[in-house]
Structure 1
């Protein structure tokens, strides 16, 4: 609530001298009677009229406060915003081959990638974001959407065992993963279209080569950021042996040359993450590079809302007069 005449509120300071005057001079205006002894009245109960007498000046103060508020012209406003969002369409292409279970990133590559991607999605509420996953084959886990709650739910359900269970072929089809993500962006009307491709290997499956997919992306104005995850030499990989898990050192074979060429061909950037902290930093850097443009126009219309205060002031004043004249009437 706002006040059109805020200066009128200073009139409320007059309440202080009124209270001081009432407390200091009230007894002088009341009639008195001398008595030799008041012992006989010691246990006489106080009547309800005597108890209610302070209500009269209190009602007078309430009426004064409400009248001052009316003079200050309280106002409320209806406001609304028109938004024009020049959003960015983003497809996340994530490698889910069994090698993503390697634990050089904590807790492992796939879980670290999911965690960082979830933080990235949460920080971009105005963008259309989708998810492609790939191993030896690729498919769309979630088409582009602004329903990020559903997207995050589908992201958390991503597992590397889809290849182990035979749902898709195992391997690393980088070209197929990129091509799938590009196909989701080809009809986009957005001025900015981006693919973030994350993998830990080199292309060894699929009918489309990574550079061919990169040329297709470039022809459609799609920028590709490539992220290679994994240490430089070898990484601990969990293997089921009997009824227990044993770790073996698996060589890291990331085709950084091809990933760099994909990024270069599409005016994107190539990044290398050898640990979880670096992966987080990479996504934060991409987040800074790709920002949505948001224009907001705000409108508001103000309305006077003094009527309830005026009615309450009239009621309080009328009640004070009735109590003073009728209930607490004094006979000279």
Structure 2
């Protein structure tokens, strides 16, 4: 801890003359009563009130010391700390097309994917993780970071209707989503570089084919784990109608062959998740990935830390005042 106004600490020297005055001259200034003979009081035991009388002086000293510390402005220290942790570089690529609103996974495919991805992120605190989202086009929602609190906030802000509201073009551009994630990993120095790509459809948009993106990932030493999410055959889909929502069964069309080829090309694995439980198990399996060393620099900012001392001073003053007007109250 550091003090912004160290000169105020010299006021603590005033405690010494106060203690000397209390010990040497305090009793002389207290009121007395003359009696003919003190023999009867010579061996009388002191009451607990008499024994606790110095407590008032102690509380005043504590309050004064705390107030001086508050004036000196105690602050936490700025610090830079370099450390080496075990981790890998990971980019999550998640499909946000309108078909991800299907409710074969609860509450729907995208919300289930976000929930499981959030648990995966929380379970790997030392990893450098980023997020790419894609539908008919792709963009980076969060670059790779070890600040997982910010990453989780950005993940939760991914809306299930982002494509339905026209914020990005609808469709499934798997090649573009994978290329966006790969571009974030191309300059990585980590020994292990991984993309986890999750989709519920087949590539029907974008200027780059999925296999071209897979070859680029392979050339950069990036492994791409692919996940096809959705039940078999048909899935319930909420269709907006006048005055509410009507559920219709839509066919599940996952290009498992392309997803499998992407994974095989990059020496990774392809998974199928037909329910939320299977999706959990898939992320647990990926969680067993090899780890490599990362160098992380942490910075902590300086903040004022006077609040505990101010509270202690106020408490000591209040307690001393209460004792003076109750337990140690004197009759003039």
Q: Distance in 1 between matches of 2:244 and 2:287?
A: 41
SS at match of 1:144: strand
What SS does the corresponding residue of 2:288 show, helix, strand or coil?
Answer: helix
Structure 1 gaps, min length 5: 1-43, 56-80, 296-332
C-alpha distance in 1, partners of 2:42/2:250?
A: 94
Separation in 2, partners of 1:204, 1:46: 104
Task: State the SS of the aligned residue for 1:99.
Answer: helix
Equivalents in 1 of 2:173, 2:148: separation in Å? 27
Q: For residues 293 and 189 of structure 1, do their structure 2 counterparts lie closer, same or farther at Cα, with a shift above 3 Å needed?
A: closer
1:212 partnered with 2:212: yes
Moved more, 83-92 or 176-185: 83-92
Q: CA RMSD in A?
A: 2.2
Looking at structure 2, the residues matched to 167 and 122 of structure 1 have their Cα atoms a distance apart, in angstroms, of 28
Deviation at 1:294? 8.4
CA contact (8 A) 2:190 2:292 kept: no
User: Do 1:198 and 1:227's aligned partners in 2 also have CA atoms closer than 8 Å?
Assistant: yes
Contact 1:126–1:292 at 8 Å: present in 2 too?
no
User: Which deviations, in whole Å up to 9, do the C-alpha atoms of 1:65-121 show, x marking residues without a partner?
Assistant: xxxxxxxxxxxxxxxx98422431100000000000001001110000000000000
Q: Does the 8 Å contact 1:231/1:252 carry over to 2?
A: yes
1:87 matched to which residue of 2?
Answer: 87
1:268 maps to: 268
Answering whether residue 125 of structure 2 is matched by residue 125 of structure 1, we say yes
1-structure distance, mates of 2:101, 2:291? 32
C-alpha separation in 2, matches of 1:291 and 1:113? 24
CA contact (8 A) 2:135 2:173 kept: yes
The answer for the alignment partner of 2:241 in structure 1 is 241
1:150–1:50 CA distance, 2 compared to 1 (3 A): closer
User: How many residues end up aligned between the 2 structures?
Assistant: 225
Q: Report the TM-score, using the length of structure 2 for normalisation.
A: 0.64
Query: Would you say 1:156 and 2:141 are equivalent positions?
Result: no
In the alignment, is the contact (CA less than 8 A) between 1:127 and 1:292 conserved in 2?
no
Verify the 8 A CA contact 1:163 1:169 in the aligned structure 2.
yes
Match of 1:136 in 2: 136
Query: For 1:225-260, what per-residue CA distance to the aligned partner results, in whole angstroms no more than 9, with x for missing partners?
Result: 000000110000001110111100000000000000
Task: Classify the secondary structure of the residue corresponding to 1:162.
Answer: coil
Query: Structure 1's 211 and 294: CA in aligned 2 closer, same or farther, altered over 3 A?
Result: closer
